[in-house]
Every structure is written in structure tokens, then in C-alpha cells.
Structure 1
Amino acid sequence: MASTLRTYRRLVASRIAAVSLIVAALVSALAWVVSIENLEEEAVGLAVEESRRAVLQMNAGDTARPLVERAEEAARLLTGGFFDIAEIYDERGERLAEHATARGEAVEAQLQRHARPQHTHPGYESMHLPDGRWVLRVFVPVWRDAQQPGSGLLGYVEGVRVVPDWQRDQLRGDALGAAALAALAAILCGLVITPIVMHLSRDNERKAQQVLASHVAMMEALGRAIAKRDSDTGAHNYRVAWIAARLGETLGLRDDAMRALIIGSFLHDVGKIGIPDRILLKPGRLDDDEMRVMRTHVALGEEIVADIPWLAAAAQVVACHHEKWDGSGYPRRLAGEAIPLAARIFAVADVFDALCSRRPYKEPMPLPQVLDILQRDAGSHFDPQVVRTFVPMAAELHARLDGRDEAACRALLHERITHHFGFA
């Protein structure tokens, strides 16, 4: 069980690590994209201010000069600063002037042509040219009042900046730093969360163990109460539940099915608590009326376990442990595979233990004779497949139980409970 818990904790830790790495990758990628966009927008903001200043100067200067001349001067001014290509348009979108640096002329042929400008808000394109260069193309409408778009259009500026290698490297370095910080933050969160989750997990495991221990204690208390009422030592309940568990394992029962088999086998006769002493403890043979009352212990047992959620899984064995393969059992006269498998397993374990055990009124029967009875009644009382599975393992089970007192039988069952119920 300790190995299972260690495996579970390693699984939790590995999943937190995996999630942290995935989050780190996603966050860093997002941080990279956002950082690049922010840096681009900062560059565009500078370009917008340069464009507005140039066009305003063009219109506020010597207005006696032709507009085209003033536009050409503004274009040269822009290409001498931020842009490598500058184009000036009037308010109708007609191009007035264009100027380019040598670097601008080298990339101009690679730029996609566009229609006459009509935009009312600044915008930009970020392009990576076939030769590997990074270009920003900015579109800026210029208004008479820069603070109030729509206050009167002066014209348009289109500027192209070929981002220098040093600036590109700086932008990418800044973006990479932001992405790395985001990834580091995600990983650190995972490292911080892991011990908290592990602590909570251990605390939940401890509480679950306490609850489970109380449930098993309740099951054993009910079993002892039944044994006391039936003048038994209680060892029968431990033995038959252990035999049923071993047989169920061989037949492939696991998890909930196995837990239901163990609980049901241990509490199969829980309904006898409601049978009057005059019938339950009668030394001689029961008459027909008394037998009818005795058989009500099945329904009484169903009611008891159904009212306790943790014991509800025992209902299949409690309700059907007196059914027979040929349909001659009670109370529902179920036959064949209509009888739950857990009840069919228990039937073999119960009769085997009853025949092999010493009771005040009988001696234990020799093992070969017990196996003869089980095989004889396969197909009438018992499921033939269950009997065929049980016979080869019967000698080993008989040897393990032979001469063991109640405490030793309890230890055997608790070993299976620890295995199947998840006790630490």
C-alpha cells in the first residue's frame, strides 16, 4: 500500500509538472506575441507623431510655395528621420510626393501595392520580406486638430521603415525576456503548488483512511453481534469472507466487485439479528412455520445493509446467498447466472467452511469428502464454473485455515481488506 501511495504522489507531482510546463509554454508564447505587438505599436506611435509633425509643418510653412514642393520637403524630412520610404497624399488620397533612402529603394519592389488611402485611423503592417528583412509600413491620416480625429483632414502619410538589425535584435531580446519571465513564473507557481497539493493529498488520504477504518470496524461489530446471537465464535465470518475473497481473486474480481464480495460474505447473515431467540437458538429441527420465519432473515438483512450506504454493496450476497443454481433456493428462486456472481462465489465458500469446520454438534469432514460433495452438487446447488475454479485451490485454503482461532482468521481477512480496500 505504501508503494501505491508513493506511486500516486509521484503521479500527482508529474502531472503538476507537466501542466506547469504546458502553461509555461503557452504563457511564454503569448507573452512573446504580446511583447512584439507592444513594441511594434510603440514604434508605430513614434512614426505617427513624426508623420503628423511633418504634415503640419508642411501646411504651416510658406504657403506661397506650391503644395507639391512643400509635400516633397515633408517626405524628405520623414525619410531623413524615422522612415526609409515616405509618401504624402492630399485629403482626396492623391499622391503629392514620395521620397526614399537607398535602403527604402532596395525593398520598394517587394512591397505590395495598395489602393488610394481612405483610412480614418492610424494603422500599420508588419511584414517579413522574402530576403529576410523586417519592414513596418505605417498609414497615418493627419487632422487639423491632432487630438480630435474628424476635425478636418489635411492629408495622409504612408511611411515604410526597414527595421535595422540592431533594433530587430533588441525588440526580439525584449520579447524573449518577457516570455522567459512568464515561463519562469508559471514554473515557479507549479513548484509552489506541488507541496501544497501533496500536503492536501496526504491529509485527504489520512482522513479517508480514518473513515475506511471506521467502516470496517462497523462491519466487524455487526459481524460479532450476529455471531453472539447465533452462539458462534465469529471465526466463521472471517473464514468464509477470506475464502470468498481468495476465490473471487482467482475468478478475476477487482475493485468494487471484490469489496462488495468481502463485505457481503462477512455480513451474509446480518438479518438473523431480527430472528427471535426461540427460533434462532432452537436446538432441534425447525418446523415449517419456524422455517418460514427463519427465512425472513434474508429480507431483514437486505433492509439493514440498504440503510447504510457503505454496506449497500453487500446487498447482492445478503439477498441471494440462499439461492441455488437450479432455482430451488430462496427467497426469489433465482437460477443460473441470474444469481449475482458474488452470491455464487459465497455459496461455495460458505458450504466448504461449514463442512470443514468443527461445530458443537459435529466434527470436521475430511477434505476429499467435502470436495466430493461440492462437485456432486455442482449444477444443482452451485455454479459449476465456480466449483471447477475452487477445487484446485481448496487444499491450500484448507491448510491455511486448519487449526486457526478467531484472531488468526481475522488477521487473514484483514490482509485481504488491506489489499482491496486501500488501507495504508
Structure 2
Amino acid sequence: MNSFNRRVAWRIGFISVLLGAVASLGAWVVAYKNAEDATVALATEESRRLLRHSDALELSGPDAGERARKAVKTLAGGLFDVAEVYNSHGEKLASAMTPEGQEIEAQLPSHPRPGSGESSHQSLKLDQGRRVLRVFVPLKGAVDSGTAEVHGYFEGVRVLPPWQRQQMLIHALSGAVMVGLASLLCGATIYPVVVLLSADNERKAREILDSHLSLMEALGRAVGKRDSDTGDHNFRVAWMAARIGERLGLSDRAMQSLIVGAFLHDIGKISIPDAILHKPDRLDSGESEIMRTHVAQGEEIVSHIGWLDEAKAIVAAHHEKWDGSGYPRQLAGDAIPLSARIFAVADVFDSLCSKRPYKEALDFDAAMSIMDRDTGRHFDPRVMSVFRPIAWDLFEALEGGDDQLARRRLEDCVRRHFGI
């Protein structure tokens, strides 16, 4: 199992367990409440039936109290441990209790007279872990009386026996376990689907990235074909810029922009006439002005083309200088994008150390002397402080003119920072 699959497994497992715990708790509460409601419904229905059988629903007349007493004696010890009947004014007409009912009577909280004509109940937890259900049943007269007037109400208290509490707990636990297992099963089912989709997305993303990088290389080669000075310069400066960026601790995202921008920095030269681009001697002032337009041309080419837009910072500012004497915008200091400041060091170093039609390559000491002289004028001092310790290694790597080596090293950087 690779690292991604392990992360997916852990995350799905964690979420499944978390959701299972929350859902199980909810299922427990709902199942317990449903079991409790079923007990209350049974008690309410049975109490109504017995009260009706005892004629206790009709509390008018001189024998109302006797009928109430007869009813509560029947109910106490059966469904209820405390059975009481009250008239419409809230006066107790009759009461009967079991021994256990007498023990808990003092623990029961007082209650106001029920104000509605509907049954209600309370669930209470008393001392010694005893749980009781307290029901209130309105007494609306005999079945055949045809009246809905409430004449009083019946109060019944049932101490849930251990077997019933256990039954309710088992019912709630069963529901919670089923919900929890269902959540874990869903997680186990989702995992392979997520891994499969992720692998497919990763494959497609790599294909798109590979296409982008191939396009980047094709554009760089197109510039190289027109500019005899360029050659494999793009590979070398992109690799050197990447090395500097790594030492500066740039993020992968910033490194991607740095590599693409360094590779395509001279893309605007496609628009420069061959007579100027291929001139073996130094350019005159007019020709230099035309050559300088390659910056604006390159900026226009890479702008608004999705991922190529990331190259814009270097394409637009690779000829700016730290002291503001560069072109085309005369940016200075930190106003110059960091990637362009990094590239400037790599670009000039490669130019000094490479043979061109109009000059010979300089040795390392001569090149570094010029680089040090221009630090604070052309180059960012902080970038130079990072560049100096690796300058000799870069020079040695490129001194033999093995451009294939530069390509392979750049490819390694691309794979590392583009996640290939």
C-alpha cells in the first residue's frame, strides 16, 4: 500500500469511526426513547381501559370517590406502583401504592395540574439508579356519554423493573451497533472506489502535466532553432535557477513557476527579425531597441494561456536590475519578482561561462568577479549569498559543455517539483 492509499485508508477509517460513533449515539437515544414511548403508550392505553371498566372516567355523582378508589387499587401493583385519581380541580380522590411505590413517593417532584386534554408523561431517574415513568391520562367521561369535557385525570407511576430496563438497553444497543457497523461498512466500500478514482485522476493529471511540459519544451526548442545563441541555454539556466530556488526554500508551486519561466524567458525572440537575432557582432542602438521588444512580445505570448501564465513573472522581468537600471519597467529591489531575481543570476552566470559567436567563455574566477561586482547593482544580494556556495559545483557541471547532462538534471527537478 503506497503512502496515498494509507492516507486515504486512515482518513476514511477515521471519518467512518467518527460518524459511526455519532450515529450510534443518536441511534441509541432514538431507540431508547422509542422503547420508552412504547412502554408509556401501553401503560396509557391499559390504564384507560381499566379506568373505563371501573367507571372511573365519570367522576360526577356521590359514588365517584368509591369508583376512583376501586380503579386505583386495580391499577396499583399491575402496571403501576403509584396510581392516583384527581378531579377537575386538582383534588386527589383516590390513591394506591405498592411497597416500592411508597419508597419512591417522596422522591417524586411535584407537578402542576395538567392543563391540556391530552396524555403526557415524564421519564425520571431517582436514587439508587431507579428509573420511573410517570403518565398523566385525562378523564373525559364514559365512552357513551358523548362529551369531551375533562372531569379529572389519572396519574400513574411505574418503576421500571431490571428486566425491562435491560430489554430497553439491549434494544437501544442493538440499534446503535447496527448503525455503527453500517457506517464502517460504508467506509470500507467507499475506500476502493476513492482509490480507484484517485488513481485515474492522478493518471490523467500526469498526462496533462506531461503534455504541458512537452509544450514548454517545444516552445523552448522553437526559440532555440531561431536563436543560434540560445541552443541549450534554456536547459542550463532553468536547472541553475531551480538549484538556487531550492536553496532558498521555495515551495513546489513557486518552483514550478520558476522552472517554466526560466525555460521560456526568451520566448519573445520568436518575433525578432533574423537579421538582428543572428547578427554575429554586437547590436547597434536601434537594433538593441528592437531586441528589447522581445520582453513585451514574450509577456504577451504567455499571458492568459492557463499554466503558461505562471512564466509571466520571469518573461516580463528577466532584464530588470536590482538598482532599477534594467528594462522595460525599471523595477528595483523587491519590486522585481523573486523568480526573476533568481533567474537573472543564473542567466548572467551561464552567459559569462558560455561561448557565444561574439565572445569566448570566461573561466570561473573571472565570471565570479563580474558577478560579485554587480551584486547590489544587477543582482539581489540575498540571492547571490545563496548562489556563491554552489557556484563552483554549477560551473563544473556545465564546464564540459555536456548539455545532455543539463537536460537530465532539469528533468530530475521537473519530476521532483511537478510530482511526476
| Alpha-carbon distance in 1 for matches of 2:143, 2:188 | 50
What residue ranges of structure 1 are gaps of 5+ in the alignment?
Answer: none
TM-score, normalised to structure 2, is: 0.94
User: Given the alignment of the two structures, is residue 308 of structure 1 paired with residue 308 of structure 2, yes or no?
Assistant: no
Residue in 1 that maps onto 2:223: 226
Offset, 1:361: 4.2
Query: What amino acid is aligned across from residue 169 of structure 1 in structure 2?
Result: Q
Residue in 1 that maps onto 2:49: 53
Offset, 1:235: 1.4
* SS of residue matched to 1:323: coil
Counterpart among 179, 186, 190 of residue 189 in structure 1: 186
TM-align CA RMSD:
2.2
Kept after mapping to 2: 8 A contact 1:242/1:416: yes
Counterpart among 173, 178, 184 of residue 175 in structure 2: 178
Offset, 1:231: 1.9
Percent identity between the two aligned chains: 53
Residue in 2 that maps onto 1:16: 12
User: What is the aligned length?
Assistant: 419
| Alpha-carbon distance in 2 for matches of 1:404, 1:97 | 112
> For each residue in 1:302-329, what CA deviation from the matched residue of structure 2 results, as whole angstroms up to 9, or x when unmatched?
0011031101111111111111122211
> For each residue in 1:170-222, what CA deviation from the matched residue of structure 2 results, as whole angstroms up to 9, or x when unmatched?
11111111111111111111111111111111111111111111111110000
| Alpha-carbon distance in 2 for matches of 1:305, 1:115 | 80
| Alpha-carbon distance in 1 for matches of 2:44, 2:189 | 45
Offset, 1:118: 3.0
Query: What amino acid is aligned across from residue 35 of structure 1 in structure 2?
Result: A
Counterpart among 119, 132, 137 of residue 134 in structure 2: 137
Kept after mapping to 2: 8 A contact 1:50/1:78: no
Counterpart among 366, 369, 379 of residue 369 in structure 1: 366
Pairing 1:15-414 to 2, within 5 Å after superposition: 15-59=11-55, 66-144=63-141, 151-232=148-229, 234-414=231-411
| Alpha-carbon distance in 2 for matches of 1:211, 1:340 | 27
Query: What amino acid is aligned across from residue 12 of structure 2 in structure 1?
Result: I
Kept after mapping to 1: 8 A contact 2:55/2:142: no
1:149–1:216: structure 2 CA closer, same or farther, 3 Å change rule?
farther
| Alpha-carbon distance in 1 for matches of 2:231, 2:66 | 113
> For each residue in 1:129-153, what CA deviation from the matched residue of structure 2 results, as whole angstroms up to 9, or x when unmatched?
0221111111111334779998233
Kept after mapping to 1: 8 A contact 2:229/2:357: no
1:422–1:146: structure 2 CA closer, same or farther, 3 Å change rule?
farther
| Alpha-carbon distance in 1 for matches of 2:275, 2:343 | 28
Query: What amino acid is aligned across from residue 45 of structure 1 in structure 2?
Result: A
| Alpha-carbon distance in 2 for matches of 1:337, 1:150 | 91
1:330–1:178: structure 2 CA closer, same or farther, 3 Å change rule?
same
| Alpha-carbon distance in 1 for matches of 2:19, 2:144 | 41
| Alpha-carbon distance in 2 for matches of 1:269, 1:360 | 18
TM-score, normalised to structure 1, is: 0.94
| Alpha-carbon distance in 2 for matches of 1:327, 1:200 | 51
Query: What amino acid is aligned across from residue 236 of structure 1 in structure 2?
Result: H
Kept after mapping to 2: 8 A contact 1:306/1:312: yes
What residue ranges of structure 2 are gaps of 5+ in the alignment?
Answer: none
Offset, 1:288: 1.9
> For each residue in 1:93-116, what CA deviation from the matched residue of structure 2 results, as whole angstroms up to 9, or x when unmatched?
332110001111111111112233
1:145–1:422: structure 2 CA closer, same or farther, 3 Å change rule?
farther
Kept after mapping to 2: 8 A contact 1:223/1:234: no
Offset, 1:156: 1.1
